[in-house]
């Protein structure tokens, strides 16, 4: 039951504003929250009623860092509230929302997402069940994002701000989901069991083309910037896993037609709709104007952090004081930034303003450690499949997207983080490095030859 609810939760994420778009509802009872609540309850019932008692949660250092970021921000808000400089009610509300997302993350991370049964003769029967389950979750995510876009277009629903949001909370949220899906499609083309199968190739190409066009209409420059910069991370696994250069060239050649058709489609879309769609017109902005006021926000967030001695203002406190700090700037490049209560639009600055420098150190250390583990498994030739090669660029996308938006508390962030954490937990404790693998049957690696020579007779 838990496995099915997790799959349903993944599918519901791109439809988070379904009620709002279809019925004009303003309720906060979003589909994914209803499913997440059911998931937590069912998971608890299954765990507590299991005959074989296991620890309810297996917490690690990563979980400790996330808990510190959540509770540390609330603690700092409570401290400054006593001093008389914080809105504790706002901090509690934000902490409850963040805590709900964190509990969902714990459940997904500690659940068995693998398929119920595998046939011994199947092509994937020799691979860990959990790895197959995580691959299927990412597949579901791709199909759900594509379906939300197609349904929105088919129904002819107008977008709230002229930029294309589909059923996501915002155009920026949709753009992030699209770029994640594109990375999955690229990884499946490069590392899938049958990357050259005509039917699968055509389906992936059609999905990628549709997603790319939709990405343009979101007008999210930050998402496009993050996607382009994270694309080279596919080379982390490509260079290490290709045993022969010919195979590497063949894998890259499989992408060439997609890149060519995609480039033509992008050029045609810009030429046809560039002057009509507001999302496309936004792509013409350059310089400070291209940051949409973020430069003002980032400077004011640093000023606020300094005023609180880099200890942290507390969760949600910068948003409450945003207007005041923007007005204190010597130069305001976008005057409208002082007219609304806005967040920091940057994950690191969000942590800095809420939990202080200690929180930033923990956050960065968690990201660096996770990237090193993902990269090691992606480079290991002994681990087939496309999961690890896809997670490395997706990780880069998460970090780069967090430079221009706050994704740290979004359900998409915690879903992908849970997939990454479960992937490194499900993998062998020590991935086999390329140098320790045989180039072909019968040949010994250099490391193995050294061990045999050094072994006493």
47-96 pLDDT, tens per residue? 887 776 667 677 888 999 999 999 999 999 999 999 888 889 999 999 99
- Separation between Cα atoms, residue 315 and residue 323, nearest integer Å: 17
CB within 8 Å of 119: residues ≥ 6 apart: 125
Among 8-22, 24-38, 146-160, the range of highest mean pLDDT: 8-22
Q: Residue holding tokens 């594109």?
A: 182
pLDDT for residue 438: 43
Say what percent of the chain tops pLDDT 70.
73
Query: Does pLDDT of 26 surpass 60?
Result: yes
The CB density around residue 355, as the number of other CB atoms within 10 Å, is 27
Q: What is the pLDDT of the chain when averaged over all its residues? A: 81
Given a contact cutoff of 8 angstroms between Cβ atoms, the answer to whether 134 and 420 are in contact is: no
* 88: enclosing H helix or E strand: helix 88-109
pLDDT for residue 21: 75
The mean pLDDT value for 142-154 works out to 92
Query: Does pLDDT of 275 surpass 50?
Result: yes
Q: What is the pTM of this model?
A: 0.85
pLDDT digits over 107-141, tens only? Answer: 999 887 766 554 444 444 445 677 888 999 999 99
* 6: enclosing H helix or E strand: helix 2-12
pLDDT digits over 402-428, tens only? Answer: 998 888 888 999 999 999 999 988 765
pLDDT digits over 289-329, tens only? Answer: 556 688 889 999 999 999 999 999 999 999 999 999 998 88
pLDDT for residue 269: 62
Given a contact cutoff of 8 angstroms between Cβ atoms, the answer to whether 423 and 373 are in contact is: no
Give 160 or 235, the one with higher predicted confidence: 235
pLDDT digits over 391-400, tens only? Answer: 999 999 999 9
The CB density around residue 144, as the number of other CB atoms within 10 Å, is 21
Give 440 or 252, the one with higher predicted confidence: 252
CB within 8 Å of 102: residues ≥ 6 apart: 66, 67, 70, 414
The mean pLDDT value for 237-244 works out to 64
pLDDT for residue 349: 95
pLDDT for residue 122: 47
pLDDT for residue 268: 65
pLDDT digits over 165-211, tens only? Answer: 888 888 889 999 999 999 999 988 888 765 556 777 778 888 888 89
């Amino acid at each position: 039951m838990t496995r099915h609810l997790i799959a349903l939760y993944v599918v519901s994420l791109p439809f988070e504003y379904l009620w709002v778009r279809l019925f004009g509802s303003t309720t906060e009872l979003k589909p994914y929250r209803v499913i997440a609540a059911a998931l937590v309850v069912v998971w608890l019932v299954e765990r507590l009623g299991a005959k074989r008692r296991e620890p309810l949660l297996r917490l690690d250092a990563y979980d400790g860092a996330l808990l510190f970021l959540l509770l540390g921000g609330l603690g700092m808000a409570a401290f400054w509230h006593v001093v008389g400089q914080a809105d504790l009610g706002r901090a509690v509300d934000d902490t409850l929302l963040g805590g709900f997302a964190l509990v969902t993350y714990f459940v997904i991370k500690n659940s068995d997402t693998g398929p119920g049964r595998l046939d011994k003769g199947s092509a994937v029967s020799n691979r860990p069940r959990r790895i197959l389950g995580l691959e299927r979750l990412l597949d579901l995510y791709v199909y759900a994002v594509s379906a939300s876009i197609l349904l929105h277009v088919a129904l002819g629903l107008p977008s709230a701000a002229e930029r294309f949001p589909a059923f996501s909370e915002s155009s920026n949220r949709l753009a992030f989901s699209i770029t994640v899906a594109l990375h999955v499609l690229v990884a499946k083309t490069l590392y899938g069991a049958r990357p050259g199968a005509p039917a699968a190739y055509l389906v992936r190409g059609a999905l990628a083309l549709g997603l790319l066009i939709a990405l343009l209409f979101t007008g999210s420059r930050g998402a496009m910037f993050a996607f382009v910069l994270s694309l080279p991370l596919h080379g982390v696994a490509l260079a290490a896993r290709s045993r022969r250069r010919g195979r590497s060239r063949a894998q890259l050649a499989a992408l060439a037609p997609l890149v060519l058709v995609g480039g033509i489609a992008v050029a045609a879309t810009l030429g046809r709709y560039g002057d009509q769609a507001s999302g496309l017109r936004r792509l013409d902005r350059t310089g400070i104007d291209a940051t949409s006021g973020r430069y003002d926000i980032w400077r004011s967030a640093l000023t606020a952090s300094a005023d609180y001695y880099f200890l942290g203002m507390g969760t949600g406190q910068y948003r409450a004081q945003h207007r005041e700090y923007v007005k204190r700037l010597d130069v305001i490049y976008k005057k409208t930034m002082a007219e609304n209560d806005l967040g920091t639009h940057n994950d690191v600055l969000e942590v800095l303003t809420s939990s202080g420098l200690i929180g930033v150190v923990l956050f960065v250390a968690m990201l660096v450690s996770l990237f090193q583990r993902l990269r090691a498994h992606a480079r290991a030739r002994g681990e087939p499949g496309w999961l690890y090669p896809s997670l490395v660029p997706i990780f880069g996308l998460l970090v780069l997207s967090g430079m221009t938006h706050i994704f740290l508390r979004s359900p998409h962030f915690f879903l992908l983080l849970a997939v990454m954490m479960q992937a490194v937990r499900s993998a062998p404790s020590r991935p086999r490095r390329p140098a320790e693998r045989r180039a072909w049957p019968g040949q010994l690696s250099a490391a193995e030859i050294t061990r045999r020579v050094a072994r006493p007779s």
